[in-house]
Amino acid sequence: MNDRKRCVLLLVFVATVLSAGCGWFAVSASWEDWPPMRRAVVLMGTYSSQYDDYLRNAGRDDLTEAERVTLREKKKILVEAYPLVQTYAQFAGEGITPSAELEQKVLDLVTRLESLTLRRIEEGR
């Protein structure tokens, strides 16, 4: 595991541990009310799970052509999103609220990744 991924996982772990006693994950709060670190944890966790999903499926021998196309598209988005997710997490880790523009870009990319995962699952049926 490279150092960057280890740092990302450590950040997610620390934020999760710290949030356990703080009521961070209360159901009643909306996204806009969440502190930047909580948003970063959710975004990085989603990005990380999408990356793991890509790796798990990219090595499969039984992919259909449609699934291959979807995974290639997913890889492009993962590469595009990585520096933005890292920047977002760095800002949040320093207590700086990321700009609305950066947050929207990251949210859009993460949403696209999740949509591709759903599409790949549908194509695999």
The reported pLDDT for the residue numbered 112 is 92
Encode pLDDT of 35-93 as tens digits. 888 888 888 899 999 999 999 999 999 988 988 999 999 999 999 999 999 999 898 88
CA–CA distance, 113 with 77 (Å, rounded to integer): 7
Model confidence at 25: pLDDT above 60: no
For the chain, the domains span 3-13+34-123
The reported pLDDT for the residue numbered 17 is 52
The reported pLDDT for the residue numbered 101 is 94
Q: Which CA distances in Å does 57 have to 4, 71, 93, 120, 124?
A: 22, 8, 31, 10, 11
CA–CA distance, 104 with 57 (Å, rounded to integer): 27
CA–CA distance, 85 with 4 (Å, rounded to integer): 12
Model confidence at 15: pLDDT above 60: no
The reported pLDDT for the residue numbered 4 is 62
For the question of whether the overall pTM of this predicted structure is more than 0.85, the answer is no
The reported pLDDT for the residue numbered 26 is 52
HEC sequence for the chain: CCHHHHHHHHHHHHHHHHHHCCCCCCCCCCHHHCCHHHHHHHHHHHHHHHHHHHHHHHCCCCCCHHHHHHHHHHHHHHHHHHHHHHHHHHHHHCCCCCCHHHHHHHHHHHHHHHHHHHHHHHHCC
